[in-house]
């Protein structure tokens, strides 16, 4: 079948005579992050989530990546609404960019909507969007869709699975989930309702595959709270805990642990403080004592054995609170010898080096560092294998499609479902159009998808070549190479000059650049006169000679910008 990806409308075959459901992932399938899914019935559709993914540290100038949602916008008249599973950035981070052009109501649980409101306000869009908070167990209607929010455990309160009831059958999108039987607060996954939905019949299950390679069941958040209590109780000086800013359950547990050990709590980091204030206002965090929170200016007045500092920076982010403290660049707080620094978060792939460097700096300051290797100070928000099996067994779907994970994880999750007796499993890619009828599920085409990078508030298409060049710059640095040439006789009239960023360590800069001048000048002097009079040719040679020197000396090739001054 020939598919025109440039068509402004869906490049799909005519609707079959029998009823059908179609799903189209725009992200979050075969990858982590950027979750976005279209679920269509009888020509109309709803969008489930629209998130971002944060780029690896070696991609310069890029704040985040969002899905290319042009297909959704080109078919906006068929979009009945947007439903959100929870408030994490990889599920709601792209919403402001989608809602700039999509006029559709948005439904989510109260905390999710509150977190989205803050994002929309920052983008100047809050007054233009219709937002509707829906609690777990409640339903709302979109044309022929009836959408039900079912409470699930995750690492943020108010997470929900979405059951989309259609005349042809029910589609369940689990969102991110786990089964925690002893949560910090009483927000257990609604097993009873999931079983009831399964008993009524589930046509299609779309299920989170993040931890499919991890056997058994995940550790309870209550166990993490108990481990942190032990760490705080045994510490003789300050305890620093860095974590994901959205982990409201973890923050509640830290407050309880600190209170049990007779300590105050200082919270540092804009995103962490904003989420704390939102959770307090909405009742998702309850303070164990009215005076447990202290302000920054009180840091020096509190005995080191009487305070816990909670801060951002668990991924080694350069602009985070903990990174500033590690550089001794924070005006009010500092880590001292004998302090304990707890990394209460997993390291996201790609952040290993920055996190390791930050932990090294903590050791240089004389602190003790505790990670999940030393104590159970973190747990996942995603189901392990046994929990995934439980979800499948509760819902007993006719068709199963794994989502949220690398491709190998999707394949492994599909095999688990098949072993549990699910009649039909299907692994799909981002952009695939999966058509489900009562008797079959098959990919009937593809739509245009891709990634758009966000640089500040600017959006631009991104492709492999862009990413390749940005990674090269991040690894090897940038050099501006300048030389002057007499355009009458082709002689080099100014010695090469270099301005470098990240290509040479400051201690070696003078020595290296002087060597590079001599190397490049010798190469240019050997060029035939006709090549020196050709600005394009001379630019190429200046660039190549500079890169050759760095390749020989350091085994790396910096990004070289040649500038020829004509005399």
The span from the CA of 324 to the CA of 441, in Å, is 52
CB neighbour list of residue 290: distance below 8 Å, 6 or more residues apart? none
Among residues 68, 158, 208, 339, the one annotated as catalytic is 208
Q: What is Dmax (Cα atoms) for the chain?
A: 88
Instruction: Please determine, looking at this structure, whether the domain spanning 221-370 carries the CATH number 3.40.50.10710.
Output: yes
Residue 476 dihedral angles phi and psi, to the nearest 5°: -115, -5
Q: In this structure, which long-range contacts are made by residues 287-293, counting pairs with CB atoms below 8 Å and at least 24 apart in sequence?
A: 287/255, 288/255, 288/256, 288/259, 289/259, 291/264, 292/255, 292/258, 292/259, 292/264, 292/265, 293/264, 293/265, 293/266, 293/267
The span from the CA of 540 to the CA of 99, in Å, is 45
**Strands lying side by side in the sheet with 264-268:** 293-294, 264-268, 307-311, 239-242, 340-343, 368-370
**If one looks up domain 21-216+380-464 in CATH, what number appears?**
3.60.15.10
Residue in the block written with tokens 């067994």: 393
Q: CB-side exposure of 470: number of CA atoms within 13 Å?
A: 17
Chain segment 294-337, per-residue pLDDT in tens: 998 899 999 999 999 999 999 888 778 898 888 876 778 899 99
Chain segment 21-36, per-residue pLDDT in tens: 999 999 999 988 899 9
Q: Among this protein's residues, is 382 annotated catalytic?
A: yes
Q: DSSP letter string over 356-390?
A: HHHHHHHHHTT-EEE-TTTS-----SS--HHHHHH
The span from the CA of 205 to the CA of 356, in Å, is 39
The span from the CA of 65 to the CA of 11, in Å, is 25
pLDDT over threshold 90, residue 347: no
- Helix residue ranges, H only, 75-133: 89-92, 95-99, 110-122
Give, rounded to a whole angstrom, the gap between the first and last alpha carbons of the chain. 60
Decide: 253 and 228 in contact? Cβ < 8 Å: yes
The span from the CA of 521 to the CA of 494, in Å, is 10
Chain segment 397-450, per-residue pLDDT in tens: 999 999 999 999 999 999 999 999 999 999 999 999 999 999 999 999 999 888
pLDDT confidence bin for 466, thresholds 50/70/90: low
Structural element, H or E, at residue 435: strand 432-436
Residue in the block written with tokens 């290797």: 373
Chain segment 353-385, per-residue pLDDT in tens: 889 999 999 999 999 999 999 999 999 999 999
The pLDDT of residue 15 is 54
Q: In this structure, which long-range contacts are made by residues 181-184, counting pairs with CB atoms below 8 Å and at least 24 apart in sequence?
A: 181/220, 182/220, 182/221, 182/222, 182/223, 183/153, 183/220, 183/221, 183/222, 183/249, 184/221, 184/222, 184/225, 184/249, 184/250, 184/252, 184/253, 184/256
pLDDT over threshold 60, residue 13: no
Which one of 3.10.20.580, 2.60.40.650, 3.40.190.10, 3.40.50.1000 gives the CATH number of domain 477-566?
3.10.20.580
Same CATH fold assignment for domains 21-216+380-464 and 221-370: no
- Cα dist. 540→6, 534, 548 in Å? 37, 10, 12
Q: Among this protein's residues, is 413 annotated catalytic?
A: no
Among residues 154, 378, 382, 404, the one annotated as catalytic is 382
Residue-level length of the chain? 567
Query: Any bridge partners for residue 38, and if so which?
Result: 24, 47
Residue 266 dihedral angles phi and psi, to the nearest 5°: -110, 125
- Cα dist. 555→181, 259, 468, 469 in Å? 54, 54, 18, 17
Look at residues 91, 95, 90 and name the one whose alpha carbon lies nearest to residue 69: 95
Question: Would you kindly state where each structural domain of the chain is located, as residue ranges?
Answer: 21-216+380-464, 221-370, 477-566
CB neighbour list of residue 506: distance below 8 Å, 6 or more residues apart? none
pLDDT over threshold 90, residue 456: no
3-state secondary structure of 494: strand
pLDDT confidence bin for 3, thresholds 50/70/90: very low
Chain segment 135-190, per-residue pLDDT in tens: 999 999 988 999 999 999 999 999 999 999 999 999 999 999 999 988 877 678 99
The span from the CA of 303 to the CA of 475, in Å, is 43
Q: CB-side exposure of 203: number of CA atoms within 13 Å?
A: 23
Residue 88 dihedral angles phi and psi, to the nearest 5°: -75, 150
What predicted TM-score, i.e. pTM, was given to this entire model?
Answer: 0.78
Look at residues 247, 165, 177, 242 and name the one whose alpha carbon lies nearest to residue 207: 177
């Amino acid at each position: 079948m020939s598919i025109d990806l440039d068509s402004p409308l869906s490049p799909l075959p005519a609707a079959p005579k029998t009823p059908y459901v179609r799903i189209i992932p725009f992200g979050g399938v075969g990858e982590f992050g950027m979750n976005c899914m279209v679920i269509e019935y009888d020509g109309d559709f709803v969008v489930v989530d629209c998130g971002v993914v944060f780029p690896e540290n070696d991609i310069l100038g890029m704040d985040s990546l969002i899905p290319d949602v042009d297909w959704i916008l080109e078919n906006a008249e068929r979009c009945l609404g947007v439903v959100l599973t929870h408030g994490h950035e990889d599920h709601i981070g792209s919403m402001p960019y989608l809602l700039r052009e999509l006029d559709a109501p948005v439904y989510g649980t109260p905390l999710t909507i509150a977190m989205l409101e803050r994002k929309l306000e920052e983008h100047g869009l809050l007054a233009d969007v219709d937002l509707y908070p829906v609690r777990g167990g409640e339903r709302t209607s979109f044309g022929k869709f009836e959408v039900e929010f079912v409470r699930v455990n995750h690492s943020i309160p108010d997470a929900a699975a979405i059951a989309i009831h259609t005349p042809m059958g029910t589609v369940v999108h689990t969102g991110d989930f786990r089964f925690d039987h002893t949560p910090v607060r009483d927000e257990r996954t609604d097993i009873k309702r999931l079983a009831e939905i399964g008993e009524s019949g589930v046509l299609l299950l779309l299920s989170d595959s993040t931890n499919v390679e991890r056997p058994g069941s995940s550790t309870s958040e209550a166990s993490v709270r108990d481990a942190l209590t032990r760490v705080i109780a045994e510490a003789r000086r300050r305890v620093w805990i860095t974590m994901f800013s959205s982990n409201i359950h973890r923050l509640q547990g830290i407050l309880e642990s600190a209170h049990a050990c007779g300590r105050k709590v200082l919270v540092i980091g804009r995103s962490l403080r904003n989420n704390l204030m939102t959770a307090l206002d909405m009742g998702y965090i309850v303070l164990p004592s009215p005076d447990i929170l202290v302000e920054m200016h009180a840091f020096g007045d509190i005995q080191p054995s009487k305070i816990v500092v909670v801060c951002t920076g668990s991924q080694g982010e350069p602009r985070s609170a903990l990174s500033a403290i590690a550089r001794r660049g924070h005006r009010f707080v500092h880590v001292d010898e004998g302090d304990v620094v707890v990394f209460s978060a997993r390291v996201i792939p790609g952040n290993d080096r920055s996190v390791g460097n930050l932990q090294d700096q903590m050791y240089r300051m004389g602190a003790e560092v505790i990670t999940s290797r030393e104590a159970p100070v973190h747990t996942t928000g995603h189901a392990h294998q046994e929990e995934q099996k439980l979800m499948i067994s509760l819902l007993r779907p006719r068709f199963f499609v794994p989502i949220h994970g690398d491709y190998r994880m999707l394949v492994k999750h599909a095999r688990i479902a098949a072993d549990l007796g699910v009649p039909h499993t299907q692994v799909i890619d981002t952009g695939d159009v999966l058509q489900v009828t009562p008797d079959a599920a098959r990919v009937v085409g593809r739509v245009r998808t891709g990634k758009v990078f966000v640089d500040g508030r600017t959006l631009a298409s991104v492709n492999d070549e862009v990413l390749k060049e940005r990674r090269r710059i991040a690894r090897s640095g940038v050099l501006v190479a300048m030389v002057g040439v007499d355009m009458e006789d082709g002689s080099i009239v100014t010695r090469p000059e270099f301005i470098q960023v990240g290509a040479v360590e400051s201690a070696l800069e003078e020595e290296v650049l002087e060597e590079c001048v001599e190397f490049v000048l010798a190469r240019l002097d050997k060029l035939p006169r006709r090549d020196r009079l050709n600005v394009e040719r001379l630019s190429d040679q200046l660039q190549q000679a500079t890169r050759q020197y760095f390749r020989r000396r350091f085994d790396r090739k910096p990004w070289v910008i040649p500038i020829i001054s004509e005399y």
